[in-house]
């Protein structure tokens, strides 16, 4: 981390415009703002081009001789294939509405992190190489040629975008900056320019079933550990199954919840709700990952990873799919699945067997979010809740970008929080719901090596948490994304020490009164239910 | 890929010094990596953590939950941090020859 981003000395962010022409590529790979390159082994597994050892901070990127031709041909093909890209290349009027909406621009002050300018890095090449005006007039028409320096600039800035789409909410044309980043990264991937935090987990999804490489027997071992822990806390033994044919529902969670705190407490919450509801469901060791890092690399990879879940649903013969508190999984499911792998008409329209509710919003994907499932159970009076068990917490809610902006999951988590916690406080209106600020680490930018970028990008979210900490004494930041659970603890420790992080279903698990449970004295973390007790 | 020399043998490591081939791990590798992690001497407590991690990885192919590590070794998180100042996922896993965990963790 650079010196000026230490909490004792709040980050000094220079917003003064540079005197240099923006069309001149200026890439200095600043310490802590870039991610390690992908290992050749992962690229070979995924059958991606140009596997080799290289590093973004070294001068030689070991590109094929015809790299320029590959990129321009790749851009042409994608302009033909994606109407959205063609539109986004031409329709921006550079009004600047998006400029100050990006957490990375706010945190770094780097003008090329303004969404409009980040997109111009690609548009300028489109104009300079592919339009008549740009070819004739060059920079007078906002065009430039594709040079090795421009390519490095693309890599630097397309890996400083979390595809969170906050800027798109404010764009009068609705330009989807995430799709520009996705396409920009897809082009870079044609040359083997990618980052390890994306490619290694994606490769492991195919070799072992999930990002973390948890094997089938590892999955079983972990679930047994949670079953024992739950029994110690509640006196009730839950009985999850794996790869069971005859189950009504396939449950798919992000694999981070199987391994790391605080995700494991969220997972214990899933187990408790699913047990108490009586749903006939199964886990899978093949589809043991909700997250889809293909969205950060290429459409083909995204499609392949999404297809795994549906292939397993078909193999097991379930009626529908229930998904856990994952982030990017839900943009893929709601906005890409139907045209990539759908329709999932071999599954049934999801109906809760407990309440009879039809989840009509999921009638094409046949995939229901667990917050929808649980909110319905609560609303229909099927769960007995003791919200006072969460009294040690003053809770606020971070809308995770993709469930909020890509599927509109805004009310269900709040309904659940109000039902399971007695002290719930919202952050300022411009930082929540569809205007939520990113955790600063999405789209593969969760590596330790880009910590400076992470902490800077997280400033807007951290400031919003600070405001409710000061106003209401908030001490817990809840969210519904595994990347959030992995990275927000570091962000909170850095900017707002004393605020913990939890998934929604951890709080549900604490409050849920189970049939036959013993008197609960500790929560799922093993802490006493009320502050001050020992 | 960077290479380091441990007991006279070259080992490929990643950017953060994790050895790339867990099969080549042995106790002298752990000893060689210890100084990098700010550990002057590997005590019996260190070995208890390292052996558990190594054996778990050999059996399951991935790192265990930190809770499981605590339960099996009897060391709470604070003690593990005392033993391995960079923590269980970095320091302890590195010395036990495990790859660096990558994903939503």
Report yes or no on B102 lying in a domain: no
DSSP-derived secondary structure for A325-376: S-SHHHHIIIIIHHHHT---TTSPPPB-TTT--B-GGGTTT-EEEHHHHHHH
Statement to judge: residues A212 and A152 lie in one domain: no
Tokens in use for A196?
A: 């390890």
Chain B residues near residue A214 by CB distance under 8 angstroms: 60-62
Interchain proximity A259–B101, CB inside 8 Å: yes
Tell me what pLDDT residue A304 has.
97
Single out the residue of A487, A462, A405, A489 nearest to residue A107, CA to CA. Answer: A462
**Distance between CA A301 and CA A129 in Å, rounded?**
28
Closest-CA residue in chain A for B57?
A218
Tell me what pLDDT residue A19 has.
83
Interchain proximity A291–B103, CB inside 8 Å: yes
Chain A residues near residue B102 by CB distance under 8 angstroms: 196-197, 200-201, 211-212, 447
Answer whether B3 touches A (CB < 8 Å): no
Statement to judge: residues A235 and A151 lie in one domain: no
Interchain proximity A486–B104, CB inside 8 Å: yes
Statement to judge: residues A241 and A329 lie in one domain: yes
Tell me what pLDDT residue A485 has.
97
Tell me what pLDDT residue A1 has.
45
Centroid of chain to Cα A428:
22
Report yes or no on B71 lying in a domain: yes
In angstroms and rounded to an integer, the radius of gyration of the C-alpha atoms of chain B is 13
Best residue of A201, A204, A213 to probe chain B, by most B CBs closer than 10 Å: A213
Report yes or no on A139 lying in a domain: yes
Interchain proximity B101–A482, CB inside 8 Å: no
Q: CB within 8 A of A517, min separation 6: which ones? A: A234, A235, A236
Answer whether A400 touches B (CB < 8 Å): no
Answer whether B102 touches A (CB < 8 Å): yes
Q: In what helix (H) or strand (E) does residue A322 lie, and over which residues does it extend?
A: strand A320-323
**Distance between CA A503 and CA A151 in Å, rounded?**
39
Report yes or no on B59 lying in a domain: yes
Tell me what pLDDT residue A533 has.
59
Report yes or no on A61 lying in a domain: yes
Chain A residues near residue B105 by CB distance under 8 angstroms: 212, 256, 259-260, 263, 486
Q: In what helix (H) or strand (E) does residue A396 lie, and over which residues does it extend?
A: strand A395-397
**Distance between CA A23 and CA A46 in Å, rounded?**
35
| pTM more than 0.90 | yes
Count of residues in chain B: 105
Report yes or no on B88 lying in a domain: yes
Number of C-alpha atoms within 13 angstroms, CB side, residue A522? 13
CATH, residue B61: 1.10.10.370
Statement to judge: residues A448 and A472 lie in one domain: yes
Interchain proximity B67–A225, CB inside 8 Å: yes
Compute the average pLDDT of residues B13-19: 94
Q: Are strands A367-369 and A320-323 parallel, antiparallel or unpaired?
A: parallel
Statement to judge: residues A277 and A259 lie in one domain: yes
Statement to judge: residues A299 and A405 lie in one domain: yes
Tokens in use for A518?
A: 């013993």
Tokens in use for A434?
A: 């569809």
Tell me what pLDDT residue A6 has.
55
Interchain proximity A221–B105, CB inside 8 Å: no
Residues A251 and A219 sit within 8 Å (Cβ to Cβ): no
Name the residue among B14, B67, B104 with its Cβ closest to that of A256: B104
Q: Which domain-ending residue is among A140, A161, A193?
A: A193
Tokens in use for A26?
A: 């200026």
Report yes or no on A458 lying in a domain: yes
**Distance between CA A372 and CA A409 in Å, rounded?**
8
Q: Which domain-ending residue is among A159, A193, A227?
A: A193
| Helix spans in A421-514 (H) | 451-457, 459-472, 482-495, 504-511
Least confident of A76-80, A439-443, B5-9, B69-73: B5-9
Number of C-alpha atoms within 13 angstroms, CB side, residue A455? 24
Chain B residues near residue A228 by CB distance under 8 angstroms: none
Residues B95 and B30 sit within 8 Å (Cβ to Cβ): yes
Q: Which domain-ending residue is among A171, A193, A215?
A: A193
Measure A483 CA to nearest chain B CA, in Å: 5
DSSP-derived secondary structure for A114-169: SHHHHHHHHHHHHHHHH-HHHHHHGGGGT-----HHHHHHHHHHHTS-----HHHH
Statement to judge: residues A211 and A163 lie in one domain: no
Closest-CA residue in chain B for A228?
B68
Read off the DSSP letter of residue A100: G
Measure A280 CA to nearest chain B CA, in Å: 27
Interchain proximity A486–B67, CB inside 8 Å: no
Residues A436 and A166 sit within 8 Å (Cβ to Cβ): yes
Chain A residues near residue B101 by CB distance under 8 angstroms: 212, 259
Closest-CA residue in chain A for B16?
A449
Answer whether A215 touches B (CB < 8 Å): yes
Interchain proximity B103–A208, CB inside 8 Å: no
Tell me what pLDDT residue B104 has.
81
Phi-psi region of A382 (alpha: psi -120 to 50; beta: other; left: phi over 0): alpha
Name the residue among B15, B68, B103 with its Cβ closest to that of A211: B103
Report yes or no on A122 lying in a domain: yes
Q: In chain A, which stretches have pLDDT less than 50? A: 1-3, 8-10
Interchain proximity A291–B105, CB inside 8 Å: no
Query: What SS3 state is found at A317?
Result: coil
B93 is annotated as an active-site residue: no
Sign of the alpha-carbon torsion through A298, A299, A302, A305: negative
- Its domain, for residue B74, covers 3-95
Chain A residues near residue B68 by CB distance under 8 angstroms: 225
**Degrees (nearest 5) of the Cα angle A118, A120, A125?**
125
Best residue of B67, B76, B104, B105 to probe chain A, by most A CBs closer than 10 Å: B104
Statement to judge: residues A218 and A332 lie in one domain: yes
Q: In what helix (H) or strand (E) does residue A397 lie, and over which residues does it extend?
A: strand A395-397
Res. B33: pLDDT tops 60: yes
Closest-CA residue in chain A for B14?
A39
Statement to judge: residues A174 and A279 lie in one domain: no
**Distance between CA A25 and CA A123 in Å, rounded?**
14
Single out the residue of A426, A433, A428 nearest to residue A404, CA to CA. Answer: A433
Statement to judge: residues A217 and A301 lie in one domain: yes
Binding-face residues of B in 26-85 toward A, CB within 8 A: 59-63, 65-68
Tell me what pLDDT residue B36 has.
84
Interaxial angle between packed helices A83-90 and A177-189, expressed in degrees from 0 to 180 and rounded to the nearest 10: 110
**Number of compact structural domains in chain A:** 2
Measure A162 CA to nearest chain B CA, in Å: 14
Number of C-alpha atoms within 13 angstroms, CB side, residue B80? 25
Report yes or no on B103 lying in a domain: no
Report yes or no on B45 lying in a domain: yes
Answer whether A264 touches B (CB < 8 Å): yes
Report yes or no on B89 lying in a domain: yes
Neighbours of B86 (CB within 10 A): 16
Statement to judge: residues A248 and A188 lie in one domain: no
Closest-CA residue in chain A for B61?
A215
| Annotated catalytic residue, options B59, B74, B103, B104 | B104
DSSP-derived secondary structure for chain B: --EEEETTEEEEB-TT--BS-GGG--HHHHHHHHGGGT-S---HHHHHHHHHHHHHHHHHSSPPPHHHHHHHH---HHHHHHHSTT-IIIIIHHHTTPPPP-S--
- B40 beta partners: none
Confidence of residue B38 (pLDDT cuts 50, 70, 90): confident
Interchain proximity A254–B104, CB inside 8 Å: yes
Interchain proximity A259–B102, CB inside 8 Å: no
Q: How far is CA A302 from CA A332, A393, A506, A515, A518, in A?
A: 8, 38, 29, 41, 45
- Residue-wise burial string across A448-479, b where 16 or more C-beta atoms lie within 10 A, e elsewhere: bbbbbbbbbbbbbbbbbbbbbbeeeebbbbbb
Report yes or no on B76 lying in a domain: yes
Count of residues in chain A: 534
Report yes or no on A15 lying in a domain: no
Statement to judge: residues A209 and A129 lie in one domain: no
Query: What SS3 state is found at A479?
Result: strand
Interchain proximity B105–A263, CB inside 8 Å: yes
**Number of compact structural domains in chain B:** 1
CATH, residue A96: 1.10.1060
Tell me what pLDDT residue A8 has.
43
Residues A314 and A346 sit within 8 Å (Cβ to Cβ): yes
- Its domain, for residue A339, covers 203-511
Closest-CA residue in chain A for B100?
A212
Interchain proximity B15–A449, CB inside 8 Å: yes
Closest-CA residue in chain B for A441?
B104
| Helix spans in A208-359 (H) | 216-234, 263-277, 299-316, 328-331, 337-340
Tell me what pLDDT residue A11 has.
56
């Amino acid at each position: 981390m650079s010196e000026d981003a230490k909490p004792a000395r709040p980050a000094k962010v220079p917003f003064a415009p540079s005197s240099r022409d923006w069309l001149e590529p200026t890439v200095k790979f600043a310490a802590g703002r870039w991610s390690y390159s992908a290992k050749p082994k992962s690229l070979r597994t995924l059958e991606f081009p140009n596997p080799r050892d290289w590093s973004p901070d070294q001068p030689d990127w070991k590109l094929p001789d015809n790299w320029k031709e590959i990129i321009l041909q790749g851009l042409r093909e994608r302009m033909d294939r994606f109407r959205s890209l063609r539109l986004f290349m031409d329709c921006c009027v550079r009004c600047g509405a998006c400029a100050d909406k990006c957490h990375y621009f706010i945190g770094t002050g780097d003008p090329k992190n303004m969404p409009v300018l980040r997109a111009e890095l690609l548009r300028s090449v489109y104009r300079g190489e592919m339009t008549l005006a740009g070819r004739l007039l060059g920079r007078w028409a906002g065009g430039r040629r594709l040079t090795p320096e421009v390519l490095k600039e693309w890599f630097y800035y397309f890996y400083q975008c979390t595809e969170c789409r906050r800027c798109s909410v404010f764009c009068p044309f609705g330009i989807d900056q995430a799709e520009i980043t996705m396409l920009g990264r897809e082009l870079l991937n044609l040359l083997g320019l990618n980052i390890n935090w994306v490619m290694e987990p994606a490769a492991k999804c195919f070799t072992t079933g999930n990002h973390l490489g948890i094997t089938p027997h590892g999955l079983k071992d972990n679930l047994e550990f949670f079953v024992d822990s739950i029994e110690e806390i509640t006196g009730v033994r839950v009985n999850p199954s794996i790869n069971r044919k005859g189950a009504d529902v396939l449950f798919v969670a992000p694999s981070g919840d199987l391994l790391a705190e605080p995700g494991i407490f969220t997972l214990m919450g899933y187990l408790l709700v699913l047990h108490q509801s009586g749903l006939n469901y199964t886990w899978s060791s093949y589809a043991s990952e909700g997250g889809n890092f293909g969205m950060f690399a290429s459409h083909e990879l995204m499609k392949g990873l999404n297809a795994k879940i549906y292939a397993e649903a078909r193999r097991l013969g379930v009626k529908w799919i229930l998904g856990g508190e994952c982030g990017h999984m839900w943009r893929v499911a709601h906005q890409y699945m139907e045209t990539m792998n759908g329709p999932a008409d071999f599954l049934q329209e999801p109906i809760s067997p407990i309440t009879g509710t039809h989840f009509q919003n999921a009638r094409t994907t046949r995939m229901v979010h667990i917050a929808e499932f649980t909110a319905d159970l609560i609303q229909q009076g099927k769960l007995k809740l003791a919200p006072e068990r969460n009294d040690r917490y003053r809770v606020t809610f971070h809308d995770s970008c993709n469930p909020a902006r890509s599927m509109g999951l805004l009310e269900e988590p709040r309904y659940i929080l109000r039902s399971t916690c007695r002290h719930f406080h919202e952050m300022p209106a411009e930082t929540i719901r569809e205007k939520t600020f990113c955790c600063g680490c999405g789209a593969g930018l969760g590596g330790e090596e880009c910590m400076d970028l992470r902490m800077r990008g997280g400033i807007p979210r951290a400031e919003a948490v600070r405001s409710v900490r000061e106003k209401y004494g908030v001490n817990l930041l809840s969210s519904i994304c595994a990347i959030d659970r992995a990275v927000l603890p570091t962000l909170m420790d850095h900017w707002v020490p004393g605020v913990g992080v939890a998934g929604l279903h951890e709080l549900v698990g604490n409050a849920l009164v189970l049939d036959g449970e013993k008197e609960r004295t500790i929560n799922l973390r093993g802490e006493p239910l009320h502050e001050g007790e020992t | 890929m960077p290479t380091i020399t441990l007991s006279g043998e070259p080992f490929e490591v990643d950017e953060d010094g994790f050895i790339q081939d867990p099969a080549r791990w042995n106790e002298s590798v752990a000893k060689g990596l210890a100084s990098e992690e700010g550990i002057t001497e590997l005590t019996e407590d260190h070995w208890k953590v390292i052996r558990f991690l190594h054996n778990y990885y050999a059996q399951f192919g991935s790192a265990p939950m930190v809770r499981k590590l605590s339960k099996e070794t009897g060391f709470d998180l604070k003690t593990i941090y005392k033993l391995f100042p960079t923590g269980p996922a970095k320091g302890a896993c590195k010395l036990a020859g495990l790859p660096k965990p990558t994903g939503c963790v």
